[in-house]
Amino acid sequence: ISRDRGKIHELYRPDWRAWFGDEGGERNGGPDDPRIALVLVEVDSVIYMKSDTPTPVVLFQVVKGIVTGTPPKTGEVREVSGSELHGGRAGNG
């Protein structure tokens, strides 16, 4: 865990405010908010979903899956191995 304000300022994006909210004073969701910290993660592999489907369609597919009991297919699942991660950028995603 790091509270390095310089690094937080470097990485900070204004849309982070949506996740923290404004509680007033320094707890305003900005880069100096004491609630913001960085977490260093060492990754062995990554599994993620790539989707170009519009959000309303994804939401419909998820609800349909809940109703029918059939898992929705909202995108392509991809996996990046540890060797690919440590060897540089993998794939085309």
Query: Using one digit for the tens of pLDDT, what is the confidence trace for 50-63?
Result: 888 999 998 999 99
Gap between the Cα atoms of 34 and 36, Å rounded:
5
Instruction: List Cβ neighbours of 32 (8 Å cut-off, separation of 6 or more).
Output: 5, 26
CA-to-CA separations, 32 to 25, 40, 41, in angstroms, rounded: 10, 19, 22
pTM: 0.54
| H or E element at residue 58 | helix 55-68
Q: How does pLDDT run across 4-25, given as a tens digit for each residue? A: 999 999 999 999 998 888 999 9
> What pLDDT band is residue 89 in, cutting at 50, 70 and 90?
low
Partner residues linked to 22 by β-bridges: none
